[in-house]
Amino acid sequence: MEVAAFDSAVIMGYPEHSALTVLHNALHEGDQPGFGGAYRDGLWLLSPLYLAARSGRRGYFHILDIAPPNFADSDYYALYYRSNGVADHTGFLVDSGGGIPVAISLERTPALGAYSAAEKSALAQAGDLVAALVRKHWPGGLEGTVAGQTDLHDQVQQVLQAFGSSLLTPRERDVVQLVLRGYPSKAVASSLGISTQTEQVHRKNIYHKLGLSSHNALFSLFFDALAQPLADNQDPIPELLSQRTRT
């Protein structure tokens, strides 16, 4: 019996010490470039889904229930969801038999529209069954965990702390970190106790100091920072900007 229709889906594993494990990719055609590009490049490490799994969240989820306030207005949402034609996103966070979190993402394109309250309720009731099926399918856990590697979550936190430290003021760095984590302007302002006008001034100054013209460029710069070794918690941006100038 069908509980709720979807026309785009992906199943991912989140090993603690290694890269994202894609277990099944049935995303719609419009979502494939973004998933294979920005998301796989590092956006997944900032996603509400990954952060929720990392914090211990399990069971049924709807993306707006686990994301920052007003997530649909954020640069993150525009970069991944809106650009890739994702109209709605729900699914399950469960543990494999070996304890590694598995994310089952059930997305909808505009052709199907948003999930109804009744559909979300029916999916939530299927949570225990989905978890049991995942543990049965992957009883020994997931391949791909490589012992001895730097914890990717810790790496992201280190890069976030160092990102822009030599060029931006402490408050501008606070703004950057929240923007990268999916906070829209109003939520950034509320979290920092400033007005939306002040938040916009900070954002304008950030883009000017970093030589950026869009939120896409900010995320791209962060992905580049993740891809290179972090030397003694030094700001990676000057070297990255120097590399771009040389090329």
Note the pLDDT tens digit of each residue in 36-63. 888 887 889 899 999 999 999 999 999 9
Rounded to an integer, what distance in angstroms lies between the CA atom of residue 91 and that of residue 148? 31
* Cα distances (Å, whole numbers) of residue 34 to 84, 107, 158, 179: 6, 14, 25, 19
pLDDT of residue 123: 95
Architecture of domain 8-137: 2-Layer Sandwich (3.30)
Q: What does pTM read for this prediction? A: 0.81
The predicted pLDDT at position 148 comes to 41
Q: What is the pLDDT of residue 79?
A: 87
Residue 226: the pLDDT is 84
Q: What's the average pLDDT block by block, 10 residues per block, for the chain (247 residues)? A: 86 82 91 84 89 94 95 91 92 92 95 95 94 88 51 79 93 95 94 95 94 88 83 84 71
The shares of helix, strand and coil residues in the chain, as percent rounded to the nearest 5, are 50, 15, 35
- What CATH class has 152-238? mainly alpha
Give alpha helix (H) positions in the chain.
32-34, 40-41, 48-54, 63-66, 75-77, 117-125, 127-137, 152-162, 170-180, 185-192, 196-210, 215-226, 237-246
Q: Which amino acid is at 102?
A: V
Q: What tens digit of pLDDT does each residue of 201-225 get?
A: 999 999 999 999 888 889 989 988 8
Query: What local confidence, expressed as pLDDT, does residue 93 receive?
Result: 97
Looking at residue 214, its pLDDT comes to: 85
Domain residue ranges in the chain: 8-137, 152-238
What pLDDT is attached to residue 154? 78
- Is residue 14 a contact partner of residue 195, using CB atoms and an 8 Å limit? no
